[in-house]
Amino acid sequence: MLSRTAENMFWMGRYMERADATARLIEMGYRMAMLPGSNELEEWRSVAAASGSAPDIAEATRLNAGSVVQRLLLDPDNPSSIRSCLTSARANGRAIRTALTQDMWEALNDGWRSLGQMDAETALKNLPSLLEWTKNRTAAFRGASEISLLRNDGYFFLRMGGLIERADMTLRLLDVKYYVLLPETDVVGGGRDYHQWTSVLRATSALRAYHHVYKGDYTPWGIADFLILNATFPRSVSYCYRAIKRFLDDLGELYGENSAPQLIAGEMVDRLDTLEIEELFQSGLHQFISDAIDTTRQLSHEISKAYHF
């Protein structure tokens, strides 16, 4: 496959995932801000910080839903806004039309302009349905890829892009929540903020799933365990890395040679497999998260190097 095609597949996967994750993030902020006793400013601040694309407004003293929605949903100059992600994913897809199936293209193309003319006020008024719409778009795209795309290198690159983005989003969310909520390391595990920890689950659409696994017992280590080490939850770091590893192995088999990124992903999977959450908290959760963010960035870089894009 053309290297350019692989690159576009990879980034299309990343952008669609980012649009989806950003929608979940805004949804979390929106839900949390509505809860009694919540600090609206703090909620939106952590949303802005976790998105990774609005450090300036995360620091701002005045911050409200409007400015966050403007920046994360509509801003054409923010490459990570939902609007930019959908537009970029479509541009990636359009540049490699032949590598996409008709179903995938229609899912990318349908309604891509609709955020173009919208102002923040209108968006805020229709926020729940816009976020729902975004999630539907990305789900439709994912579904179309699942049922129509050949399981060859193109599919592997697409999925790996999405998984890397997803692992990154989960890690960054944990990073922000860890810092913002538990500034003093000795209170880690103190269980002092039920709200804030459940918000992390909300942002990853994990609330119900968590219930099933941990029977409603919200603890910081339970939540960290779920989002980092649980291999069955599709937004966990462990799940993402296992899947990335599998696709890299498939690719290696298809091309008949092993690759550098395969090693990186393999090491990470081994590490996650042997880690216990208590150990992780003891040795420093934050350090682990920072390292994992770096590893993910490096993995993405090594993939593009290994496959010439």
Partner 1 sequence: MYNEMFSDDRSVRGPYEKVAEWISAAGVDLLKLRQSEAEAIFRKIGITFAVYGEGGDPERLIPFDLIPRVFGASEWRKLSRGIKQRSRALNAFLYDVYHRGEILRAGIIPEELVYQNEAFLPEMIGVDPPGRVYSHIVGVDIVRTDGDKFQVLEDNCRTPSGVSYMLENREIMMRMFPQLFHAGIVESVDSYPSMLKKTLEEVAPIKCDDDPTVVLLTPGSLNSAYYEHSFLADLMGIELVEPQDLFIDNGLCWMRTTRGPQRVDVIYRRIDDTYIDPLAFKADSLLGVPGLFSVYRSGGVTLCSAPGAGVADDKAIYVFVPDMIKFYLGEKPILENVQTWRCSAPDDCKYVLENLKDLVVKRVHGSGGYGMLIGPHATKKEVDAFRAKIKANPSEFIAQPTLDLSTAPILGEAGIEDRHVDFRPYCLVGKEIRLTPGGLTRVALKKGSLVVNSSQGGGVKDTWILAD
User: Where along the sequence are the contacts to partner 1 (CB under 8 A)?
Assistant: 1-6, 91, 94-98, 102, 105-106, 109-110, 153, 157, 255, 307-309
Distance (Å, whole) CA 259 – CA 255: 10
Who contacts 221 (Cβ-Cβ below 8 Å, separation ≥6)?
Answer: 189, 277, 278, 281
Measured from the CB of residue 134, what is the shortest distance to partner 1 in angstroms?
18
Structure tokens that stand for 165 in this block: 């983005």
**What stretch of H or E contains 25?**
helix 3-34
Decide whether 211 or 308 has the Cβ nearer to partner 1: 308
Q: Toward partner 1, which CB reaches closer, 3 or 185?
A: 3
Q: Which is nearer to partner 1, 113 or 125 (CB)?
A: 113
CB of 11 to partner 1, least distance (A): 14
Taking the complex as a whole, the smallest distance from the CB of residue 122 to partner 1 amounts, in Å, to 22
The answer to whether the CB of 268 falls within 8 A of the CB of 231 is no
Nearest distance from C-beta of residue 262 to partner 1, angstroms: 14
Output 179 or 255, the one with its CB closest to partner 1. Answer: 255
Residue 78 — φ and ψ, nearest 5°?
A: -95, 110
> Could you tell me which residues come within 8 angstroms of residue 262 by beta carbon, excluding any fewer than 6 positions away?
245, 248, 249, 252
The residue among 10 and 44 lying less far from partner 1, judged by its C-beta, is 10
Retrieve residue 244's tokens. Answer: 């990335």
Closer CB to partner 1, residue 111 or residue 190?
Answer: 111
Of 155 and 239, nearer to partner 1 (C-beta) is: 155
Residue 9 C-beta: closest distance to partner 1, Å? 10
Reported residue count of the chain is 309
CB atoms within 10 A of CB 97: 11
State the nearest-atom distance from the C-beta of 106 to partner 1, in Å: 6
Rounded to 5°, angle at Cα 206 from 205 and 208: 110
Residues 6+ apart with CB under 8 A from 200: 173, 174, 177, 223, 227
- Nearer to partner 1 by C-beta: 5 or 198? 5
Give the CA radius of gyration of the chain.
19
Shortest gap between Cβ of 250 and partner 1 (angstroms)?
13
What does the alpha-carbon distance between residue 249 and residue 10 come to, in Å, rounded to a whole number?
Answer: 16
CB 139, min distance to partner 1, A: 18
Give the list of residues 6+ apart from residue 145 with CB closer than 8 angstroms, or none: 101, 104, 155, 158, 159
